[in-house]
Chains A and B, each alone.
Chain A
Amino acid sequence: MADEQRVLERERSAVDEAWRGLDENARLPAAAPPKTVPAEPLVPVPGQQIRAVGQRATRPDSRYHGLGQTRYIDDLALPGMLHAKIKRAGIASARIKRIDTSAAESMPGVMAVVIGREFPVNSFGPTFQDQPVLADEVVRHAGDGVAAVAAVTEQIATAALEKIVVDYEPLPAVFDPLDAMREDAPKVHPPKGNICHSLAIRRGDVAKGFAQSDHIFEGRFTSQMVEHVSIEPHAAIAAWDANGRLTVWATIGRITLARADLARTLRLPMNRIRLIGTIVGGNFGGKNEISQEPALALLSKKAGRPVKGVFTRGEEFIASTVRHPFIMDYKTGVTKDGRILARTARLVLDGGAYCSWSETTLGKCCVLAPGPYKIDNVRSEAIVVYTNKTVAGAMRGFGAPQVCFAYESHMDDIATALGIDPLAIRLRNAFEEGSPSPTGQVLQSVVVKETLLKAAERFGWEVRS
């Protein structure tokens, strides 16, 4: 009897052990509280002397990331929260004749539907407010949203999009930026022409510079459209309180501007909007302005419940902003020994359907286009044009990676033709402390040559004979 009991006891405790082990193992990292708190400060504090600048200090968020404790928007839920989806036009240029949302609205589980004309002000944009939150009259690119749905589940919201009927009258479209510049091209924003913005920088006399040059080199370079591909897609939650105050949690890198845009589109005083920037899972310029937030706010108001929206990966490509494709014509006059006497750069930027950050991109690339070189005679001209394509906006570098590709490829072509080492030709022309920039600015803390020499040293660059 006693033996039996002992066996039973042992078996029971073995099962308990196993369960305990399972429980430990079954814990998902995202749900597990940290088992220890750091006893020591995360950053070594050496004795009395404290120098904070220059330390390889641990980031305050590294433990959260390492332990899977970081809460992104997709990890957040509010009681009664609904899920939103946006119907995309799928046609690049069209007039909207009719939107019928009745079948979607009558679906069980659908709590609210909004269309463009319900917004107090249906436009936004950092420079020109030419982009609708949801297109109401005209679709200007295939990723334009035309209606938004909030439902109790994401699946129902997605299914409801299929029930929304939109009648389009196709309009002529233009996709090539050089075609878009022609007088007879279809206008993306009629009656305005397709030239969204232009800028020119002139210094010295390029004609004289070319006349004095021993050699003149020309080249055309083009770059493609790319996406930011942040791991976390655009995501936001909107919720109203009993005082009519709106709180929006959003993956946005510029909360001050985003609140101003929300206040404008919803016609709300700013003190009735609280915008909380959550931990952003990658921005790279793609999350610098509002996108779906006004739609979520309106859906939430109509449904009387919090509403979350998370872009699909497909929407990240078609409905968020992308990097401007460039067409770049360079012409450079040099002396026999590779000194640049004159350079012209003509840039055409494909801005897509709306202005977004095109003006900023234009300004930066136009200033930077001649490269980090002392050139007395410079002309840099840049034009950004509207096309019926995905909206080009802010992306890490604002046009600089495109022009750097052109001026540095061009530089190597010149070096090869003249038989000069690529390092030597750059050292011969690079900015120095106090050099004037193409806009006539006296540059300070200039270390182009130092970076050239350091990189060459690290790489083991040897001059080939």
Chain B
Amino acid sequence: MKRRGRGMACMWYPIGFTVAANPSAAVVKMNEDGTAVVLTGTVETGQGSLAVLGQIAAEALGIATDDVHLVSADTDATPMDCGAIASRTTYVTGNAIRLAAEDAKSVLFEVAAQVLGVAASQLEARDRTIQVKGFPRCSVPIGEICKRAQITLGRPPIGSASWNPPTVALDPESGQGKPFSTYVYATQIAEVEVDDETGEVEVLRIAAAHDCGTPINPMLVEGQIEGGISMGIGFALQEEILFDGAGRQINPNLTNYIVPTALDMPEIDVDIVQNYDPTGPFGAKGVGEPSLVPTAPAILNAIRDAVGVRITSLPATAEKVLAAIKAKRGDERKQIPA
């Protein structure tokens, strides 16, 4: 008989390295027409980080996402970066790019201040113009300012900056300190169906509420969460590297090590919880790794809810779940008085 159950799990997860410095540097170069090129040493590993970093640069410069081109991942051409690791790209590299854009913008403001006859502190960059705060009519197209800065004044608007999340080392005795600059939080709730005759578990749906600070690109946040859940399902139910007695793997192939496919995916309902972290670029934190963290315990708690067995060793394969169900039935039978 197939039995349904529900289970929840919440989690916290830090952004960046544990205590160790993990800076990123960035360069923002404005072109004569007001478009921009960003140099970053991070690597696009499929998560869409270049889109997010471009959006951060565009927001800081008051231009469109399409106006920004990113050059990445070349040690000859791009500044140092600690890379696509520890869910740090949006937060750390994003902050470096935001600051580099501010640096380039300060040149534009100096030039625009002369043109508009106001102090640089009175200016803002938005809608592809440099304008007087609160007086959008009093504005100059950003391209004109870029061209004037470079060609008339000989001051090409190029900005550079670096950023490192502040941490405090852990006390060697008590472990007290500030190992990370910030954390994100999430909850996932799973509904599963367990066949109590075979032990097979099917994940029917998952509601996932995640905090990532400001979502710079909600579509990519959802993509990360959906991908993380797929990885979490494999961790919870299927994947395991097995060894023989001599320490050699016995299933190093995709025939005997089964990863979830599209057919294993449940219905996913993503909620990006409203939040703003003042230390992140435009309030953003990150979402890469946390997306997978609560999936397995949510599923395992749902299995317990469905058939009343607690699986304490991952993965909860059909064999393991069935054995636990049988053991529980055995225990229950023993309890009947003679």
Closest chain B residue, CB of each to CB of A221: B312
Does B219 sit at the interface, judged by CB under 8 A?
yes
Instruction: Point out the residues of chain B lying under 8 angstroms from A225, CB to CB.
Output: 240-241
Complex CA–CA separation, A10 to B173 (angstroms): 91
B310 in the interface (beta carbon within 8 A): yes
- Cross-interface CB contact of B296 among A229, A404, A423, cutoff 8 Å: A404
A:45-80 near B, CB below 8 Å: 45, 48-61
Chain B hits for A413, CB < 8 A: 310
In this complex, the interface size class of chain A, counting residues with CB under 8 Å from chain B, is: 35 or more
Is A8 engaged at the interface, CB distance under 8 Å to the other chain? Answer: no
Within 8 A of A (CB), among B284-306: 284-285, 288-290, 292-298, 300-301, 304
Is A203 an interface residue, CB under 8 A from the partner? yes
Of A29-37, A156-164, A278-286, which stretch is located at the interface?
A278-286
Given A203-B174, A413-B310, A450-B273, A396 contacting B9 (CB threshold 8 A): no
- Whether B314 sits at the interface, judged by CB under 8 Å, is yes
Please tell me the number of chain B residues within 8 Å of chain A, measured between CB atoms. Answer: 128
Q: Count of A-B contacts with CB under 8 A?
A: 385
User: Chain A residues near B127 (CB, 8 Å)?
Assistant: 48-50
- Does B102 make an interface contact (CB < 8 A)? no
A59 and B247 form a contact (CB under 8 A):
no
Q: For A405, what are the chain B residues with a Cβ–Cβ distance below 8 Å?
A: 296-297, 300, 314
Residues of A within 8 A of B75 (CB): 255-256, 259, 273-276
Minimum C-beta distance from A329 to chain B (A): 11
Question: Do the beta carbons of B188 and A401 come within 8 Å of each other?
Answer: no
Decide yes or no whether A200 CB sits under 8 A from chain B: yes
A-chain residues with CB within 8 Å of residue B315 when the two chains form the complex: 224
* Contact A57:B51 (CB < 8 A) given known A92-B246, A256-B82, A408-B294: yes
Binds B, one of A116-124, A147-155, A360-368: A360-368
- Contact yes or no, B312 A400, CB < 8 A: no
Contact (Cβ within 8 A) B189 A456: yes
Q: Is B109 at the interface (CB under 8 A from chain A)?
A: no
- A223 touching B55 by the CB < 8 A rule? no
- Shortest A343–chain B CB gap in Å is 14
- The reply to whether B253 and A313 contact each other, CB–CB distance below 8 Å, is yes
Binds B, one of A12-20, A101-109, A298-306, A386-394: A386-394
- Are A254 and B11 in contact (CB-based, < 8 A)? no
Q: Which residues of B contact A351 (CB under 8 A)?
A: none
Given contacts A280-B46, A287-B45, A401-B235, contact A60 B70 (CB under 8 A): yes
> Do B64 and A447 touch (CB < 8 A)?
no
| B247 pairs with A61, CB closer than 8 A | no
A317 interface neighbour in B82, B191, B252, Cβ under 8 Å:
B252
Interface hit among A128-136, A207-215, A331-339, A436-444: A436-444
Query: Which A residues between 429 and 454 are near B, CB-CB below 8 angstroms?
Result: 430-431, 437-441, 443-448, 450-452, 454
Could you list 21 examples of A-B contacts with CB < 8 Å?
A: A43-B64, A50-B58, A52-B55, A60-B69, A92-B248, A225-B240, A229-B239, A255-B43, A255-B83, A280-B46, A397-B290, A400-B13, A401-B293, A413-B310, A439-B170, A439-B178, A450-B274, A451-B271, A452-B10, A455-B187, A458-B269
Extra contacts besides A141-B247, A142-B247, A448-B187 (13): CB < 8 Å: A50-B128, A59-B220, A254-B85, A259-B75, A317-B253, A397-B290, A408-B298, A439-B170, A448-B12, A450-B275, A451-B271, A455-B187, A459-B207
A-B complex: 9 closest residue pairs judged by Cβ atoms: A92-B247, A254-B83, A277-B73, A201-B175, A317-B252, A363-B18, A408-B297, A52-B58, A283-B45
